[in-house]
Amino acid sequence: MAFVTEDNITELAVGRWGTAHSPRTAELLGALVRHLHEFAREVNLTEDEWAAAVDWLTRTGQTCDEKRQEFILASDVLGLSMLVVQLNNRFDERATPATVLGPFHIDGSPPAESGHDMSDGLPGTPLFVTGTVTDVEGKAVPGAVLDVWQADADGVYEAQIPDVDEARLRAKYQARDDGSYCVRTIAPLGYTIPMDGPVGELIGQTDISEYRPAHVHFLLDEPGYAKLVTHLFPEGTEYLDSDVVFGVRDTLVVPFVRHEPGPSPDGGVMDRPFLVAAYDFVLQPES
């Protein structure tokens, strides 16, 4: 029988977790144990620091509810979410790059016709996002569904507003037969991540900027293609080079071009200035 020492505890723990019934579970937990133990040894972790970490994890879980996922936020600001995205979405260089989902996506956004105004009269500068959905060979993906969501002109999602229970600034647009689409919304504002929880508490102990640059989220999940979760960022907006969740990719930064009142991409006529962003989404075929 092997009694526990500082020198053998890691291999003993790895061996125990190696009995997991699934080989992949055994691999994951064995690697987790090794890295956790190596971290503790590298920093000479104290008992008080260990207790503080357990308390932080406990409070992070207690902060989560049906509208807020503090653990996803923690993963985002540590760069883990974006690393996992990159590891799992090594697309063709012609395909639209993937980014983080973020904590504010919800299932069941309302369907919308091309050109529908998903801002539903909320204040802000009108924004049209237009383009096509194709594969990497340039072939149109007819009827592709673009699940779109964003913060408002004050940088707030509906999940952050106590009295709002319905979908707000989100919709599912369907591309036309030729792959073209038109989203109508309002220009988003960059915003700070929630700073009133354990993640904000941790950020507050550093010089890390808590801001995200302005962006609009898109999710496309078409049969025969890899699921795409991505953002579009306005060219020249603040915090592009310091995004707190590491989500900016250079090819996702696009001009939001100002237009004077007149004809708009949805076939209507605008009586006030508006913005147009042109972007062609390119999907990666499933392997």
Give residue-wise pLDDT tens across range 46-67.
999 999 999 999 999 999 988 7
| Neighbouring C-alpha atoms within 13 Å toward the C-beta of 276 | 16
| Residues 2 and 98 placed together within one structural domain of the fold | no
For residue 166, what pLDDT band results from cuts at 50, 70 and 90? Answer: low
Q: Does a structural domain hold residue 58?
A: no
Query: Looking at residues 254-269, what average pLDDT do you find?
Result: 97
* Residue of 146, 158, 147, 160 lying closest to 120 (CA atoms): 158
The answer to whether 169 touches 155, Cβ cutoff 8 Å, is no
| Residues 6 and 117 placed together within one structural domain of the fold | no
| pLDDT, averaged across the chain | 95
Q: Does a structural domain hold residue 127?
A: yes
| Residues 159 and 17 placed together within one structural domain of the fold | no
| Residues 89 and 204 placed together within one structural domain of the fold | yes
pLDDT at 1: 62
| Residues 107 and 203 placed together within one structural domain of the fold | yes
| Residues 234 and 127 placed together within one structural domain of the fold | yes
* Phi-psi domain of 267 (left: phi exceeds 0; alpha: psi -120 through 50; beta: other): left
| Residues 99 and 200 placed together within one structural domain of the fold | yes
| Residues 29 and 81 placed together within one structural domain of the fold | no
Write the DSSP string, 194-241.
Answer: P-SSHHHHHHTTSS---EE---EEEEE--TTB--EEEEEEETT-TTTT
List residues bridging with 269 in a β-sheet: 263
Q: Work out how many domains the chain is built from and give that number.
A: 2
Strands 145-150, 216-220: pairing is: antiparallel
The answer to whether 282 touches 136, Cβ cutoff 8 Å, is yes
Q: What is the pLDDT of residues 145-157, one digit of tens each?
A: 999 999 999 998 8
Residue ranges making up the domain that contains 277: 76-283
| Residues 33 and 83 placed together within one structural domain of the fold | no
| Residues 278 and 170 placed together within one structural domain of the fold | yes
| Residues 189 and 127 placed together within one structural domain of the fold | yes
| Residues 19 and 135 placed together within one structural domain of the fold | no
